[in-house]
Amino acid sequence: MSESIPLGLVGARGYVGAELIRLVAAHPRFTLGFVSSRERDGQRLGDHEPAYAGDLRYVNLDAGAAAGQGADALVLALPNGMAAPFVAALDTKARRTVVVDLSADYRFDDAWHYGLPERTRASAPGATRISNPGCYATAMQLAVAPMRAALAGPVQCFGVSGYSGAGTSASDKNDPDKLRDNLMPYALTGHVHEREVTRQLGHPIEFMPHVAPHFRGITLTANLHLADATTLDAVRSLYAAAYADESLVRVVDDAPWVSRIAGRHGAEVGGFTLSADGRRLVVVATLDNLLKGAATQALQNLNLAFGLPETMGIPT
């Protein structure tokens, strides 16, 4: 029997932490070494996550204590701005521990591997400091990257996310009563994902995010201006070739629906529409913000970091 690989999870109470617990509980190699949550300290993990059948209890560990647990990997599912103490403690006490950070804290740090496997898996082997891409940023890159060489001018991306993307801390953006029959725009310029995708694609992106009343799932509509006229057949062929070997990306002809992707681990890209002159292309991408936009992608990155098949433990 293959040796198990213990993981620690900090920020286990949130939506993404819960999804990752379920994935790890069913994984053939990874095991949960500890799960840290201030609010649930001492409570049985199985009482909150029935998918986990063991006796593990939540703990409340500071950065130094988390680094001293001896886990082979640590997943940080914390709000932006909170990862640094944990990384510093690991750099001092357990430098070989693999870190996957789900926040935006290290997405602009060249010393960290940016873990969007469909675009960056070639540089994944040996990485011990891995920054998980943002959910919207994943959808934008999957929608735009195959056309990168053909672009002329900024790409406009209109995004709509379920309110789970706003996390568990109370706010207008995750209040079902305020969102009912509503669409809430926010951070319409300068959003961190706008800067993230501009950096990763090396091309200007203009991003306009919105929150909708549904719980999970992202619809991302990208408006691409092209340097030269093209045809729909050429576009479809380009996307089909780009994602032919990607088990977690499906290219579809019709515009994908968010209700079809919710609860699933991959992404859909399609809805290809050209202007009459062939120089403006609209592409739609959908994914589950908690899964391919976060927990599933983290597991892809963990699998790659430990030399396992990339989709091990991920239902496809």
Rounded Cα–Cα distance for residues 201 and 197 (Å) = 6
Active site residues: 135
In the beta sheet, which residues pair with residue 218?
161, 287
Rounded Cα–Cα distance for residues 14 and 216 (Å) = 14
The three-class DSSP label of residue 117 is helix
Tokens of 120: 């960056």
Q: Identify whether the C-beta of residue 224 lies closer than 8 Å to the C-beta of residue 164.
A: no
| Residue 22: its H or E element | helix 15-25
What are the CA-CA distances from residue 67 to residues 45, 132, 224, 263, 299 (Å)? 21, 20, 45, 32, 20
Helices H, strands E: what count in the chain? 11, 13
